[in-house]
Amino acid sequence: MHIKSDTQTATFTRTSIAYKTDGTAVASGVARFEDDGLTIDADSETLTLPSGTLLNTKGTIVFDFTPGDTGTLRYLVDGGGATNANLLLYLDPNDYPVLVYGTGSAEVTLTANKTVTAKSRFTLRYSSSGVSLLVNGVTVMQDWISGTSITITSTAPSLTLGTTYICSKQDGTLQACGQISNLNISNIYRSDDWAAVNGMIEKTIETDKNTIYYADLMADLLDIEYALPKYAVMTAADLSQRVDATSKMFQHGGILTADGKVDYREIEITVEIDQTTTANYFAVVDLLKRYLAQADYKLYITGDRYINISNLSSISETFVDGWYLKKSELTITLLALDPFWYTGTATSTTTITATGQSFTVTNSGSIDTPIEITITATDACTSITLVNSSDNSRTLSYINADFTAGKVLVINSTDGTVELNGDNTINYLTGTFMHLVPGDNIFTYTGGACTIKIDYPVRWL
């Protein structure tokens, strides 16, 4: 399970704190890198790490990066080193990662054997013996002065690094537009096993005594995601309808006295926490509480099915005997004022060429769903009627002499709005706002030629 929030605004600087195995906090930082496709201001186009953060002799750099553009030269890491003594990682115009390291008298350039165009985890390791780069846990380049490798040279790295620049060159140019998160720096060359496991995009990167810098970053302001811990299960998602009855007087049977609608829902999640130190326990639990205590986010139980969470209702914490602040079971109750499960929005588009034309829209969900109707007039549509014969012949009519060719009418059943070219024209609508019932919905349209687009959320009980 994971949660996703799309309600954040431009200034978003929260960061999580990781802990070393000795219980002391790892240095942390916050940054956000501008995606050219987003109309928001970046907190910073470049994250700079103080001189000495990267050791000259050895180290491991891990981070997740989502490209905001492709087909350009974009720097991911610049060690700020001297000529022929620097460490560089960038994406070339063909989207291949390129690693450059200095030997003291020259530079060695290595190009990966795969492209990167989507969110990926980079694991860059270096030492006096060689360098290695993994993308999503798979080695894409490796250079040793001896042994079997993808590329072999006879000169080892000789680095003199300075202030480190993330997502740009040290002169501030060739910035990597996109999002970066989970930046993790170690003062050792991590083992192959560690790199393969922690290099997987879905893995929470381990921190220990050799971790010298960690930054959650949470770079994607408009699409925040957090994966719940491994041992998290949904233990309850009870559903109820507002149904009550009273007995008929002097007759058999009864009478319904409620509206029969689906009530709000409470989602219960159980999470097992298993840590060896108090510091690590707090790190996991605090992060979990931070995300679940937000308002208005989506809780995903599969890759595409989610429910809208309004608020956290309660958290109970039960410790395992003898493992206080190390092992526990958390029971989390979340409030879903909107009780339905969703898988996004579907669209059906029909071209109307003659009045009286019928068309079918299929609702694959298990409950009725509101729709947004967009009618683009090909000819004058001054008097139109739409009937859904599958929903007790629910009907709406719109009569407006101003609805001429080329104009667009939008009728939104969720918000209860009617707009013609962006202007409120609800007074011209009669009848009811429409829904789709589960299964096939047969519509009949009367009016001028047009294109009808129906957008609707697909939802389940």
- Residue-by-residue DSSP string for 174-205: SB--EEEEEEEEESS---HHHHHHHTSTTSPP
**What is the chain's pLDDT, residue by residue, as a tens digit (461 residues)?**
555 544 332 222 223 333 333 334 333 333 333 333 222 233 345 677 778 888 999 999 998 888 877 778 888 999 999 899 999 999 999 889 999 999 888 888 888 888 888 889 999 999 988 888 999 888 887 765 444 444 545 577 889 999 888 888 888 788 777 777 788 888 899 998 888 888 888 777 877 778 887 766 543 333 456 667 767 788 878 888 888 888 888 888 888 887 778 899 999 999 898 888 888 888 788 878 877 887 888 888 877 888 999 999 999 999 999 999 999 999 999 999 999 999 888 999 999 999 999 999 999 999 999 999 999 999 999 999 999 999 999 999 999 999 999 999 999 999 999 999 999 999 999 999 999 999 999 999 999 999 999 999 999 99
State residue 405 phi and psi, 5-degree precision. -55, 135
Task: Give me the count of residues in the chain.
Answer: 461
The model carries a pTM of 0.54
Domains of the chain (ranges; CATH) run 10-223 (2.60.120.200), 232-339 (2.40.30.200), 344-460 (2.60.120.860)
Burial grade of 106 (CB within 10 A; 0-12, 13-18, 19 or more):
exposed
- Looking at the DSSP assignment, which residues form a beta bridge with residue 345? 457
Query: Hey, is 403 helix, strand or coil?
Result: coil
pLDDT at residue 143, as a whole number: 65
pLDDT at residue 184, as a whole number: 86
pLDDT at residue 339, as a whole number: 94
CA distance 346 to 253: 42
CA distance 136 to 121: 5
- Residue-by-residue DSSP string for 127-148: ETTEEEEEETTEEEEEEESSSS
How far CA 195 is from CA of 114, 120, 138, 139, 379, in Å, comes to 18, 14, 9, 9, 63
Please report the beta strands in 11-118, taking only residues with DSSP state E, as ranges in sequence order: 47-49, 59-67, 74-78, 87-91, 97-102, 107-111
How far CA 18 is from CA of 125, 271, 367, 436, in Å, comes to 21, 20, 44, 48
CA distance 431 to 350: 22
And the tokens for 450?
């047009």
